[in-house]
């Protein structure tokens, strides 16, 4: 390439070049053809050469793109466009390190290019580097915005000053209601504040005004997924993929939505498609392995997760994902590597806490109880520091619920609610046997197992939000204002939301969301024919099992032994209350009794549900259904006694839990047994 071409730096004034550039997004093949015609006349035109390389990448030929773009970037060391496009081609080839170098170089050359920062955000996201991804996205927003007010809002958003960002954006939109960039940012802010239904409304409004605003549509798809509306999210993602069929972040979210909708095979196929194009991204291999585990391909899952560690040996989540395959044991070499990582103060806190939980499991398997507990406690401490939990607030909520749902309240309730008897709701504390109960019930030919459905909690949240907007009482007090018609509408809405999960169309289905015990009063109001099963385990066994489990999200009360004991006390207190005010509405299964005399307890359970006894329910491990919980390996084998008294090995360190449990340590089986 001669000096004249280098001076051009890719900016030819010819109309043909401008036309070819415009063709790139929609018709890369034609764009390349146009650029080659230009090169016949101007063989050293840098901008035409750039178009050829960019077109090849967009047409699915990243190797051909690199062949063109690598020498171009070398000849034009100060061209951010050439280095950006080369970085994208290298990423598509799986050359992660070289790709990152090229993208970073492009950002250094021209920090004001928003697309470069967005590419870095996508790259860091695929690598599982959440902090770097967030920082790159902040730079993308800063570069994309020109309005100083929106820049200020963006800085507040990226610094997690969400209330401040919301105030700035709402003030700006009061004066400029048609600013779609501000609307999209407000939707993102409101979602981070936890108001997902409001975020959905804002982003929908944004897309009405700007249907081609892909950033807003991707935000909307993510919000829909977070609201557990996977099929609606899939529709939005299909629109995005129609224009960008190979975009990995769209495909990754699509795979997650498909898995949540129960379409595990298509989810796996989608992940395999992304991995084929981006084989060196550890986050993708983790997601792939976790989905394989759900469909009982444990060996394949283990290989996939181990490959993530080959790509990134410090990826803490990969170690915990291996530990969470309950039947797997770590080798001595793996333990040595994890010990070194746990001691590395420079390692990100998220990676370290995952490694601590994995080491807790490794030493538990080895019978080294003291060291095991130390690592579980270290991991829990790091998690607790990042996620606040207020035990007093939970106790206060329990008292409020008891004050609303009194015997008099239910005596005067009258008719109302959906009459559908299909729901079988399994409630309790995590790690108390709810997955086992679901597997037993789902083995019955009239019952379909689903998953931990969030719809009851969402209906309660929506009910409280709508009431507060209208100046009314919060939840649960607002429940007392519901008319019979409103209760029926809510019950029918719940049934409607569960339909996408009921693939087999059986007469009954299991909703296994343990935390639904806090909503039993509302459930009785809107689903009077539903059956509720409370599965309960010895408090020290249940609480310690939860303490040593690193949950993907939620369950913030499980990372401190005192918090756990208080939560268990509140649980027993509330369940005793409902046994008094709604006698017979809840069936209690004691996990230890189920282990000791499985058939007798299964017969009692099925009788409560109005189902004939079926021997398949006592051979639940023979079921081929997918299981999407931490207990998936355990419920695929016969009931075993091994885990019943596992907590006793850790008894010397459980005094904070014992003190917090108080009288519940003796009365945990509950009243009216």
The enclosing domain of 454 has a CATH number of 3.40.50.300
User: Is 355 within the bounds of a domain?
Assistant: no
Per-residue pLDDT for 203 more than 60?
yes
Tokens standing for 288? 């792939």
Query: What is the percentage of the chain residues whose pLDDT exceeds 90?
Result: 58
What pLDDT sits at residue 5?
40
Q: pLDDT tier at 128 (50, 70, 90 boundaries)?
A: low
Residue 457, in any domain of the structure: yes
The answer to whether residue 385 is domain-embedded is no
- Tens-place pLDDT, residues 244-284: 888 888 999 999 999 888 888 999 999 999 998 888 888 89
pLDDT over 60 at 307, yes or no: yes
Overall average pLDDT of the 90-118 stretch? 87
Residue 195 forms part of a structural domain: no
Per-residue pLDDT, averaged over 98-109, amounts to 91
- As a whole number of angstroms, the distance between CA 324 and CA 364 comes to 13
Residue 387 parent element (H or E): none
Tell me: pLDDT of 626 over 70.
Answer: no
pLDDT surpassing 60 at residue 505: yes
33-42, 136-145, 378-387, 451-460: lowest mean pLDDT where?
136-145
Residue 584 resides in a domain: yes
How many C-beta atoms lie closer than 10 Å to residue 609's C-beta? 18
Q: Which of 114-118, 374-378, 483-487 has the lowest mean pLDDT?
A: 114-118
Question: Which of 135, 216, 138, 143 minimizes the C-alpha distance to 179?
Answer: 216
Q: Are 499 and 467 in contact (CB under 8 A)?
A: no
Give the model's pLDDT for residue 554: 73
Question: Is residue 43 one of the residues assigned to a domain?
Answer: yes
List of residues 6+ apart from 27 with CB closer than 8 A: none
Residue 76 has pLDDT above 80, yes or no: yes
Band of residue 11 on the pLDDT scale cut at 50, 70, 90: very low
pLDDT in tens, 326-365: 778 999 999 999 999 999 999 989 999 999 999 999 999 9
Read off the tokens for 543.
């609480």
Beta bridge partners of 534: 427, 588
End-to-end CA distance of the chain: 86
Model confidence at 6, pLDDT cuts 50, 70, 90, reads very low
- pLDDT tens-digit profile of 408-449? 999 999 899 999 999 999 999 988 889 889 989 999 999 999
> Tokens 């800063």 correspond to what residue?
142
Q: What is the pLDDT of residue 639?
A: 66
The encoded tokens of residue 613 equal 């006894």
Burial of 379 (0-12, 13-18, 19+ CB in 10 A): buried
CA dihedral 639, 645, 650, 654 (to 10 degrees): 110
Examine the fold and report which residue of 180, 211, 234 is the final residue of a domain before the chain moves on. Answer: 180
Predicted pLDDT of residue 4: 41
Look at the block and give the residue holding tokens 């549509």: 217
Q: Compare 619 and 509 and report the one with higher pLDDT.
A: 509
Burial 308-318 (b: 16+ CB within 10 A, else e): bbebbebbbbb
**What's the average model confidence in pLDDT over 502-515?**
93
What is the C-alpha to C-alpha distance for residues 305 and 297, in angstroms, rounded to an integer?
A: 12
Domain residues for 13?
3-180
Q: Is the pLDDT of residue 538 over 50?
A: yes
The residue out of 154, 180, 206 marking a domain boundary is 180
Average the pLDDT over 218-233 and give the result: 91
For 32, 196, 206, 374, 387, the CA distances from 227, given in Å and listed in that order, are 42, 7, 19, 36, 20
In the predicted model, what is the mean pLDDT of the chain? 88
Overall average pLDDT of the 201-208 stretch: 93
Instruction: Tell me the DSSP string of 210-236.
Output: -TT-HHHHHHHHHHHHHTT-HHHHHHH
Q: Which two three-digit tokens encode residue 240?
A: 């995005």
Q: What is the 3-state secondary structure (H, E, C) of 115-136?
A: HHHHHHHHHHHHHCCHHHHHHH
Edge-to-edge strand ranges of the sheet holding 423-428:
447-449, 508-511, 423-428, 531-536, 586-590
Strand partners, 508: 447
pLDDT band at 623 (very low <50, low <70, confident <90, very high): low
Residue 235: is its pLDDT beyond 50? yes
Does residue 146 lie in a domain region? yes
Return the pLDDT at 673: 45
Question: What mean pLDDT is predicted for residues 221-237?
Answer: 91
Please compute the mean of the pLDDT values over residues 520-543 and round it to a whole number: 96
Q: What pLDDT does 14 receive?
A: 62
Last residue of a domain, one of 134, 162, 180: 180
85, part of any domain? yes
**What tens digit of pLDDT does each residue of 129-145 get?**
767 877 887 787 777 76
Buried b / exposed e along 20-52 (16+ C-beta atoms within 10 A): bbebbeebbeebbebbeebeeebeebbbbbbbb
- pLDDT, position 641: 60
Report the number of distinct structural domains present in the chain. 2
Look at residues 267, 268, 362 and name the one whose alpha carbon lies nearest to residue 324.
362
H-assigned helices in 76-127? 80-92, 96-109, 114-127
What is the dihedral sign for C-alpha 396, 397, 398, 403? positive
Cis peptide before 476 (omega within 30 of 0): yes
How many residues would you count in the chain? 673
Lowest mean pLDDT among 176-180, 360-364, 533-537: 176-180
3-state secondary structure 573-601: HHHHHHHHHCCCCEEEEEHHHHHHCHHHH
The tokens for 104 are 């970073």
pLDDT at 123 (0 to 100) = 82
Q: Do the Cβ atoms of 144 and 152 come closer than 8 Å?
A: no
């Amino acid at each position: 390439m001669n000096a004249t071409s280098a001076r051009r730096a890719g900016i030819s004034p010819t109309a043909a070049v401008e036309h070819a550039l415009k063709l790139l997004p929609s018709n890369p093949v034609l764009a390349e053809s146009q650029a080659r015609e230009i090169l016949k006349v101007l063989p050293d035109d840098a901008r035409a050469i750039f178009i050829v390389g960019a077109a090849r990448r967009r047409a699915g030929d990243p190797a051909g793109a690199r062949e063109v773009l690598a020498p171009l970037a070398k000849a034009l060391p100060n061209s951010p466009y050439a280095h950006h496009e080369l970085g994208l081609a290298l990423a598509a080839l799986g050359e992660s390190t070289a790709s990152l170098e090229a993208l970073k170089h492009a950002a250094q050359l021209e920090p004001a290019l928003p697309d470069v920062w967005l590419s870095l955000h996508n790259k860091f996201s695929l690598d599982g580097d959440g902090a770097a991804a967030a920082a790159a996205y902040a730079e993308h927003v800063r570069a994309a915005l020109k309005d100083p007010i929106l820049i200020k809002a963006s800085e507040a958003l990226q610094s997690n000053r969400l209330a401040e960002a919301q105030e700035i954006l709402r003030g700006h939109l009061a004066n400029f209601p048609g600013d779609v960039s501000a609307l999209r940012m407000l939707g993102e802010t409101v979602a981070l504040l936890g108001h997902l239904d409001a975020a959905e409304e804002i982003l929908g409004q944004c897309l009405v005004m700007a249907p081609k605003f892909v950033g807003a549509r991707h935000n909307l798809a993510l919000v829909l997924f977070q609201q557990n509306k996977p099929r609606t999210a899939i529709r939005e993602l299909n629109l995005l993929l129609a224009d960008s069929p190979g975009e990995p972040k769209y495909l990754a979210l699509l795979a997650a939505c498909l898995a949540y909708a129960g379409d595990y095979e298509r989810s796996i196929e989608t992940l395999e498609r992304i991995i084929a194009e981006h084989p060196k991204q550890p986050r993708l291999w983790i997601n792939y392995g976790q989905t394989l585990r759900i469909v009982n391909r444990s060996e394949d899952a283990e290989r996939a997760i181990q490959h993530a560690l080959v790509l990134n040996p410090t990826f803490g989540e990969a170690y915990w994902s291996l530990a969470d395959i309950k039947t797997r044991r770590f080798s001595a070499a793996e333990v040595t590597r994890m010990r070194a990582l746990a001691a590395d103060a420079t390692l990100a806190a998220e990676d370290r806490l995952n490694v601590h939980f994995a080491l807790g499991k490794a030493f538990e398997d080895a019978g080294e109880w003291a060291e095991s507990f130390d690592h579980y406690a270290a991991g829990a401490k790091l998690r607790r520091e990042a996620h606040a939990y207020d035990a007093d607030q939970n106790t206060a909520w329990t008292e409020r619920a008891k004050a609303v749902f009194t015997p008099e309240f239910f005596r005067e309730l009258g008719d109302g609610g959906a009459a559908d008897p299909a729901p079988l709701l399994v409630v309790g504390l995590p790690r108390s046997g709810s997955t086992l109960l679901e597997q037993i019930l789902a083995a019955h030919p009239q019952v379909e197992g689903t998953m931990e459905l969030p719809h009851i909690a969402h209906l309660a949240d929506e009910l409280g939000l709508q009431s507060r907007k209208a100046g009314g009482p919060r939840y649960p007090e607002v429940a007392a204002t519901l008319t019979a018609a409103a209760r029926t509408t809510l019950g029918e809405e719940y049934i409607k939301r569960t339909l996408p999960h009921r693939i087999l169309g059986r007469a009954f289905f299991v909703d296994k969301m343990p935390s639904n015990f806090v909503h039993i009063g509302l459930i009785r109001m809107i689903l009077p024919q539903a059956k509720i099963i409370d599965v309960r385990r010895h408090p020290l066994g249940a609480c310690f099992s939860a303490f040593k489990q690193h949950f993907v999200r939620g369950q913030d009360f499980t990372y401190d032994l005192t918090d756990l004991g208080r939560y268990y006390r509140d649980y027993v207190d509330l369940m005793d209350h409902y046994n008094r005010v709604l006698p017979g509405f809840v069936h209690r299964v004691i996990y230890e009794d189920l282990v000791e005399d499985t058939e007798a307890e299964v017969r009692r359970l099925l009788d409560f549900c109005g189902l004939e006894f079926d021997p398949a329910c006592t051979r639940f491990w023979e079921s081929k259904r997918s299981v999407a919980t931490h207990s998936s390996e355990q419920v695929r084998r016969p009931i075993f006694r091994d885990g019943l008294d596992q907590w006793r090995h850790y008894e010397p360190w459980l005094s904070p839990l014992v003190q917090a449990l108080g009288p519940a340590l003796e009365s945990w089986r509950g009243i009216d047994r």
